[in-house]
Structure 1
Amino acid sequence: LAALPTAQIGFNYLGRFPGQQNQSDRDQRSVEHHAWQTAGDGARGGGGDRIPVIHALEVMGVVHDLPDGPQLTLIVSWPSGLLAESAARSLADGWAAMLTGLATHTSHTTDTDTGIGIGGHTPSDFPLVDISQSELDEFEATAQQMDEGA
């Protein structure tokens, strides 16, 4: 392993915590109809250029359970002498766009282009029950019809 190159990006997931943040700390862009939100600008350069780093870009993530749903906060940092702010922000913006796209995709039950159902459960989600995908799809459709009729 010592002969392999080292990672240029470090990621540390700090966990999921209940609680609230002050409104002033919640400079956030809400992602409508999703189970998560992006927090405000968590990108920053800096730190001393003389402080040794393990990664050119460091990302820390934490989820806070807020009244309006879970909020993912990513803090992106880099040594300003090692990585240009424009490059770091470009990567962070691309990552935010990808996460937003993924959340948008998974929030829909039907593909908007094809009309084919997406997402949902599979038989592997229920290991204690012997059920086929078609039986599961029928069960979920019946449950949705009952919910819409209620």
Structure 2
Amino acid sequence: MKLFLIIMIMFSFFSCMDGPRAAFNNEFERANPKVKLPYSNLIGMYVLDDDSKKRFHIQDTVKMDLQIKKDTSLVVNNYLDLNDRSLLNKSLQSKLYYINDFESIYLGLFNHKISSSGSLGIYYRKKDRLLALYIYISPLKGQEHGDYLRYIKVK
């Protein structure tokens, strides 16, 4: 009986997840801070992936993208209101700051209307090593977990 109890407790620990399953899946891995990732590799256009559109009930025809520029600015087109998750059909800009000191990697925002955490998570898609940016959206009142919008870099 003790063995059964221990197995059940271990199973419950391993089945716990930090956030919703759809946002963190096995196709993506967090960028390793011990591997150099120059800011110049982050520059470019990113589009919202289909999985994020489904989870946030955004029509397929809506074009949501973000662009990181050389001058450390970020432009987001068609973004979500963090308070009620409604789609806002306008652009929003922010300055960025980037830290990669081989112990941590951080892409921070000065405009907190874009992400609840004030930063962008940097990930790679495993199959083709394309960069992906995760934007954290805090939970709505009465919800247990927040969620992420995932933007994939366009080649």
TM-score, length basis structure 2: 0.22
More RCO (CA 8 Å, sep 6+): 2
TM-score when scaled to structure 1?
0.23
Structure that is richer in strand per residue: 2
State which structure, 1 or 2, has the greater radius of gyration over its C-alpha atoms: 1
Indicate the structure with greater helix content.
1
